[in-house]
């Protein structure tokens, strides 16, 4: 199939839709980190409670990822995506309200909507864009990284420019979600590419699959690093003398700096059957930056950018592994649900434990040490998950 024929009008429409879907997933989460101190002070939350609020969407990612595959079989991938976008928009809108409960409930709804969309994104890409799925995943993950960076970088700017209205900053991504809802409403009630949402491939018990568990471990560890990083690194910088606005700016720069390399690793995964080297090659940079933060905290802005550079590569690899280790869209949905449910549940503990370690020790060295241990684990998970094999098939059968 030629590239010109591959990119038909309906497939281009689908690309725009999934890119906007990807653009809806992270800004509402990352906007919280730079404002965590201010929100905690305004609402009257302890450091552990702020960590719990930061972790709430990530815990929802884990809890609500498992039902996604059976729901998708019943409703179809596109209809479920539309409903999840509506839930996400409702959560963002609730965050605009003044009562404290609306902040908690809105954040929970945001997490529920994103949980399902997290699972659906690699499945939609695998279904609609094979054999270019890893490359399209690179585009969508770069979009996620870019909007995450904007969410973090503009949070303080929006808050200060509106007289301290941080609720507006937390809900700033709502217009993007509304546009995504409109596009999925157009395509959501029928399959524009003529590919059925149901899957008739032989059932594979992913819970007994070493492949699925290795992919799950990679997803869990990289998510723990990312969400602990985005929620606490601005506060860590502020503790070393950096202003609130600059800490948010550094986080945005850190995430934007990872976008080109994130697309690069996606492109490399699209051209390689064995992705072990790709999955682990950048991890030494993360380890060096975490050690630097532990022993040279005066250079924390440098370490922040270095960590952001590498976390921008972790997510494309994690999502690419889900797509590449699954033989069918149905397998991808099941493995994506498993990897993201366990992965994000573990990741949700990261900000809570990070805040607890700070309260217990009075410093951030232990928190950074936790992330360093996760990076070591990523090396082993990447070596296992990156091997040329697919769920339920030997390498030679691929």
User: 204 — alpha (psi -120 to 50), left (phi > 0) or beta?
Assistant: beta
DSSP assignment of 384-395: HHTSS-BTTB-G
Express each pLDDT in 119-165 by its tens digit.
Answer: 899 888 888 887 777 788 888 988 887 888 788 878 889 999 999 89
User: Residue 139 and residue 129: Cα distance in Å, rounded?
Assistant: 12
Q: Is the pLDDT of residue 330 over 80?
A: no
Give per-residue pLDDT as tens, 236-282: 988 888 887 788 788 878 878 888 888 888 888 877 888 999 999 99
Looking at per-residue confidence, does 101 or 174 come out higher? 174
The per-residue pLDDT for 316 is 87
pLDDT tens track for 289-316: 999 999 999 899 999 999 988 988 898 8
pLDDT tier at 201, thresholds 50, 70, 90? low
| Burial readout 241-279 (b: 16 or more C-beta within 10 A, e: otherwise) | ebebbbbbbbbbbbbbbbbebbbebbebbbeeeebeebb
pLDDT for the residue 144: 86
More confident call, 386 vs 33: 386
Categorize the per-residue pLDDT at 396 as very low, low, confident or very high, splitting at 50, 70 and 90. very low
pLDDT at residue 382 above 80? yes
What's residue 61's pLDDT?
80
The domain limits of the chain are 11-197+206-397
CATH of 11-197+206-397, picked from 3.40.50.620, 1.20.1250.20, 1.10.1040.10, 3.30.910.10, is 1.20.1250.20
Residues paired with 199 in a beta bridge: none
Give pLDDT, residue 343.
83
Q: Round to whole Å and give the CA distance between 179 and 186.
A: 11
Distances (CA, A) of 78 to 74, 118, 305, 343: 11, 13, 36, 24
**Token pair belonging to 123:** 């499945």
Give pLDDT tens digits for 333-375.
Answer: 888 889 988 887 787 788 889 888 998 998 999 999 999 999 9
Q: Is the model's pLDDT at 199 over the cut of 60?
A: no
Token pair of 48 as six digits: 């552990």
């Amino acid at each position: 199939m030629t590239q010109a024929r591959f990119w038909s009008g309906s497939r281009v429409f689908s690309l725009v839709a999934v890119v906007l879907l990807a653009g809806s997933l992270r800004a509402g989460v990352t906007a919280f980190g730079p404002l965590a101190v201010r929100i905690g002070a305004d609402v009257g939350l302890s450091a552990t409670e702020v960590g719990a609020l930061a972790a709430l969407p990530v815990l929802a990612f884990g809890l609500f990822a498992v039902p996604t595959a059976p729901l998708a079989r019943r409703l179809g991938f596109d209809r479920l995506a539309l409903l999840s976008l509506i839930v996400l928009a409702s959560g963002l809108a609730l965050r605009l309200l003044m009562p404290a409960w609306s902040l908690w409930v809105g954040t929970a709804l945001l997490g529920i909507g994103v949980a399902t969309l997290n699972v659906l994104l690699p499945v939609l890409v695998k279904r609609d864009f094979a054999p270019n799925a890893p490359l399209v995943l690179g585009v969508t993950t770069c979009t996620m990284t870019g909007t995450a960076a904007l969410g973090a970088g503009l949070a303080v700017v929006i808050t200060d420019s509106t007289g301290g209205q941080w609720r507006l900053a937390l809900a700033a991504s709502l217009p993007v979600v509304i546009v995504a809802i409109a596009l999925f409403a157009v395509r959501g009630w029928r399959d524009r590419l003529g590919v059925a949402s149901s899957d008739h491939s032989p059932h594979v018990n992913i819970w007994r699959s070493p492949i699925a568990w290795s992919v799950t471990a990679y997803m869990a560890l990289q998510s723990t690093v990312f969400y602990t990083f985005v929620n606490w690194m601005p506060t860590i910088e502020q503790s070393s003398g950096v202003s609130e606005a600059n800490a948010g700016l550094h986080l945005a720069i850190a995430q934007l700096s990872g976008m080109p390399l994130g697309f690069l690793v996606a492109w490399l995964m699209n051209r390689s059957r064995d992705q072990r080297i790709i999955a682990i090659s950048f991890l030494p940079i993360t380890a060096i930056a975490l050690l630097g933060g532990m022993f040279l905290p005066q250079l924390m802005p440098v370490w922040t950018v270095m960590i952001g550079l590498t976390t921008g590569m972790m997510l494309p690899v994690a999502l690419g592994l889900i797509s590449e280790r699954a033989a069918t869209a149905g397998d991808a949905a099941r493995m994506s649900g498993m990897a993201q449910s366990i992965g994000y549940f573990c990741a949700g503990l990261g900000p809570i434990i990070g805040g607890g370690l700070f309260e217990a020790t009075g410093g951030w060295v232990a928190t950074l040490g936790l992330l360093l241990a996760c990076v070591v684990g990523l090396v082993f998970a990447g070596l296992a998950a990156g091997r040329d094999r697919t769920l339920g098939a030997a390498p030679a059968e691929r």
